[in-house]
Amino acid sequence: MSEKTQKLPEGSEIEVDIIDVEEFSLSSESRKPKAKKYRIRVDKEKFVVDVPKMTGRQILELAGKKPPEQWMLNQKIKKRFEPVELDEIVDFTAPGVERFTTLPKEQTEGRSALRRAFALPEDDTEALESAGLTWETVADGGNKWLIIHAVSLPGIFVARETAVAIQLPANYPPAALDMVYYHPPIQRVDNKAIPCTESSVQIEGANWQRWSRHYTSANPWKPGEYNVFTHFLLSQAWLQREVARGIAK
């Protein structure tokens, strides 16, 4: 598909063969011209369809996310992500529509719908959703928290899974993240103490175990390179460090 095809003027009556929805939206804020086919991106895969509109259900089924009732669909519009309901119609020709991301719905009984008390930077949202993590943002007592649910734990720990909380400072992402918090608290099966985990903090009335781990002058926080997802991955490495300590005999 040529750049000339991508940048036809708004309202053009010329029908082109195919429009790449994401590429066009990144290069123009105009409504997309009429086309025989549309190339849409769902997560990291691209699909070619011969209709200008589809429902959220149809997009999920196209991407192999079945049953669609167990998946959440979001569309990226002008640098923000917006949820798409199953029966909601998405117009690929609309200005700003770029691409779509999917996320499995939380299946734990009794948990309320995932909250978005505040927006994360676009790269953070994309990374969390692409990794298939179940997450929400929560504001409590003037503090902002990212909470990642259903995080599996190595067999060295008593619980099989936990939730991870990351506190976001007011001037994040230039400001560094620091530490993580777990609920329920993490304990080793051999009752060996885990260093620097004695303190806790309350989030929405629940006690979260603080793992006091910090960036250093030798390995500092790198704005633009590090984010909530890389910090979460780092916390996974802290768990593996405990695994490496072994089980006390």
Judgement on whether residues 208 and 150 belong to the same structural domain of the protein: yes
Judgement on whether residues 134 and 63 belong to the same structural domain of the protein: no
Q: How confident is the model at residue 79 (pLDDT cuts 50, 70, 90)?
A: low
- Provide long-range contacts, Cβ within 8 A and 24+ apart, for 191-199: 192/245, 192/247, 192/248, 194/242
Domain end (from 52, 81, 105): 105
Judgement on whether residues 77 and 197 belong to the same structural domain of the protein: no
Tokens of residue 71, six digits? 């998946």
Domain end (from 105, 134, 161): 105
**pLDDT given for residue 248 in this prediction:** 62
How do residues 136-193 score in pLDDT, each as one tens digit? Answer: 999 999 999 999 999 999 999 999 999 999 999 999 999 999 999 999 999 999 999 9
- Provide long-range contacts, Cβ within 8 A and 24+ apart, for 173-176: 173/121, 173/124, 173/223, 173/224, 173/227, 174/223, 175/221, 176/215, 176/220, 176/221, 176/226
Q: What is the largest CA-CA distance in the chain?
A: 77
How do residues 39-58 score in pLDDT, each as one tens digit? Answer: 999 988 999 999 999 999 99
Judgement on whether residues 146 and 87 belong to the same structural domain of the protein: no
Q: What percent of the chain has pLDDT over 70?
A: 90
> Rounded mean pLDDT of 7-32?
78
Judgement on whether residues 218 and 121 belong to the same structural domain of the protein: yes
CATH number, domain at 85? 3.10.20
Judgement on whether residues 135 and 237 belong to the same structural domain of the protein: yes
**pLDDT given for residue 8 in this prediction:** 47
Judgement on whether residues 162 and 242 belong to the same structural domain of the protein: yes
Tell me: pLDDT of 209 over 80: yes
Judgement on whether residues 192 and 223 belong to the same structural domain of the protein: yes
Q: Which domain holds residue 16?
A: 1-105
Q: Of 227, 126, 238, which Cα lies nearest the Cα of 169?
A: 227
Q: Of 171, 122, 120, which Cα lies nearest the Cα of 146?
A: 120
Distances in Å between the alpha carbon of 200 and those of 103, 136, 181, 208, 212? Answer: 30, 20, 8, 5, 10
Phi, psi of 80 (to 5 degrees): -135, 155
Judgement on whether residues 73 and 124 belong to the same structural domain of the protein: no
Query: At a CB cut-off of 8 Å and minimum separation 6, what does 235 contact?
Result: 164, 166, 180, 211, 213
Look at the chain and report how many structural domains it folds into: 2
Residue 47, strand partner residues: 40
Judgement on whether residues 94 and 149 belong to the same structural domain of the protein: no
Domain end (from 105, 134, 152): 105
* Helix (H/G/I), strand (E/B), else coil: 9: coil
Judgement on whether residues 137 and 184 belong to the same structural domain of the protein: yes
Is the overall model pTM greater than 0.85, yes or no?
Answer: no
Judgement on whether residues 82 and 123 belong to the same structural domain of the protein: no
**pLDDT given for residue 77 in this prediction:** 86
**pLDDT given for residue 164 in this prediction:** 98
